[in-house]
Structure 1
Amino acid sequence: MASAAIEILGLSLSILGWVGVILACGLPMWQVSAFIENNIVVAQIIWEGLWMSCVVQSTGQMQCKVYDSILALSQELQAGRALTVMASIVGLIGLLVTIVGAKCTNCLQGNSAKGRVLLAGGVIYILCGILVLIPLCWIANIIITEFYDPRVPASQKREMGAALYVGWAATALLLLGGSLLCCSFAMKDGISDSVRLGLLQIMPT
């Protein structure tokens, strides 16, 4: 019963994290206008994402434009696109794998086989979290560096947008969910005591 509960919790957290990755990937609020110095009172707010930039007027009107050229994008945006799309695909693969290895399905027979598949699903979700964490930290580092760089004009300074925080939350869910799925493998019936002991020893306390 404990193994099944951990399995369900891990799968639920992983799915929520995967949905968060997709949401963060599509949101245009990776970078937002910084309200500093002469830029405190502005008639518009600028949002910049992986795929488009948006201008929000003080009247509430919003206009978004998809980036025209991929080659004209900065390295971090190109890498961010590639890694978040990869993370979304990897997360989908993780979902399919964990469904096959779940106790509530009959795709496989035997606890040992299901346990190995579930372990693979947990590792895939952890990989998904790492993939999306890289562009999040990369872009956040650039935003912070440019914000404190006196050579960058105030009008071009940006702050971290909501999409970054959504992505970090999704990463935490994926890492935690994937770890729980790996942990549930160690608790499944039919796994040898030596394997179970080894897995429990390497899991974080």
Structure 2
Amino acid sequence: MYVEIGCFVSCLCGWILVSSTLPTEYWTFSEVGTVVLTTSNYYSNLWMDCISDTTGVSDCKYYPSMLALPVFLHACRALAVCAVITGFFGGVLTLIGMKCTKIGGTEIVNSRVTFSGAITYLASGGCGMITYSWWANRVITEFKNPNFRSQKFELGAAIFVGWGGSLLLICAGAVLQPITRPVSYTTARTRRTYMMPPPSSRVTLVPPLYNKGMDGRTTRATNKTDQTLGRDSFV
């Protein structure tokens, strides 16, 4: 039970970290020094591009056209949203199936629900890890490419926070999965073994009342046949 609580808390913290990266602007950033005392900071995320300088002026602009965006950005958006949604349902399933809550009902039902929550957590962590790793690989590739003439960016804080949250989801889900699987499957297998019908027999069963009546009639007939008649009987 304590291991389940620890895994649930770890997964909840990981899901919060992954969810916090969606509104964060610092997925990528770049600093450009134009004047001696003025530095411009460019940063962006899945939804917008922003700029700020040391004078305190900042401005953000959403991407103007959704259809004009590259496929890479659409895929990262979809994976990030899937990570948040699956993590939410994983938390609900794990909370219902935990032994300390006693919401699911029987032990077998709770184990199966918790096992489903662990699988959902693994899916959430996998989606998040793919999103942040793909984004980081693209940024690093463009930064180290000598033929890339556009403005080069570096990895922002949101990528590292997302990596940490995804790692928590994957590790806690991997620990939670084998804890609940033996209980549900072994118990179900034991129940199926005890509920198996007995082996068939070649003995033909006859209704007991019929046999009992036949035995009574046979006994009475035998007694009547074996009875010895004497002289006093005729009298």
Q: What TM-score comes out, normalization by structure 1 length?
A: 0.83
State the number of aligned residues. 190
Looking at structure 1, the residues matched to 87 and 75 of structure 2 have their Cα atoms a distance apart, in angstroms, of 18
Q: Is the 8 A contact 1:34 1:159 kept in 2?
A: no
Looking at structure 2, the residues matched to 76 and 41 of structure 1 have their Cα atoms a distance apart, in angstroms, of 37
User: 1:54 deviation in Å?
Assistant: 1.2
Q: Is the 8 A contact 1:20 1:169 kept in 2?
A: yes
Looking at structure 2, the residues matched to 76 and 14 of structure 1 have their Cα atoms a distance apart, in angstroms, of 27
Residue 67 of structure 2 aligns with an amino acid whose one-letter code is L
Partner of 1:104: 100
Q: Structure 1 194/6 Cα, relative in aligned 2: closer, same or farther at 3 Å?
A: farther
Partner of 1:199: none
- Bigger Rg over Cα: 2
The alignment-based identity, stated in percent, is 33
The counterpart of 1:86, out of the listed 59, 82, 86, is 82
Q: Is the 8 A contact 1:29 1:49 kept in 2?
A: yes
Q: Secondary structure at the match of 1:109?
A: coil
Looking at structure 2, the residues matched to 90 and 189 of structure 1 have their Cα atoms a distance apart, in angstroms, of 22
Q: Is the 8 A contact 1:29 1:161 kept in 2?
A: yes
Partner of 2:155: 160
Partner of 1:185: 180
**Superposed CA RMSD:** 2.7
Residue 4 of structure 2 aligns with an amino acid whose one-letter code is E
Q: Secondary structure at the match of 1:55?
A: strand
Partner of 1:201: none
User: 1:48 deviation in Å?
Assistant: 0.9
Give matches, 1:49-128, under 5 Å.
Answer: 49-128=45-124
Is 1:151 paired with 2:158? Answer: no
Q: Is the 8 A contact 2:38 2:53 kept in 1?
A: no
Is 1:137 paired with 2:143? Answer: no
Q: Structure 1 189/124 Cα, relative in aligned 2: closer, same or farther at 3 Å?
A: closer
Partner of 1:22: 19
Residue 24 of structure 2 aligns with an amino acid whose one-letter code is L
User: 1:188 deviation in Å?
Assistant: 5.3
User: 1:125 deviation in Å?
Assistant: 0.3
Residue 27 of structure 1 aligns with an amino acid whose one-letter code is T
User: 1:107 deviation in Å?
Assistant: 2.2
Partner of 1:203: none
Partner of 1:202: none
Partner of 2:170: 175
Q: Is the 8 A contact 1:125 1:178 kept in 2?
A: yes
Q: Structure 1 81/189 Cα, relative in aligned 2: closer, same or farther at 3 Å?
A: closer
User: 1:187 deviation in Å?
Assistant: 7.0
Q: Which has the higher contact order (CA 8 A, sep 6+)?
A: 1
Q: Is the 8 A contact 2:112 2:181 kept in 1?
A: no
Q: Secondary structure at the match of 1:177?
A: helix
Q: What TM-score comes out, normalization by structure 2 length?
A: 0.73
Q: Secondary structure at the match of 1:121?
A: helix
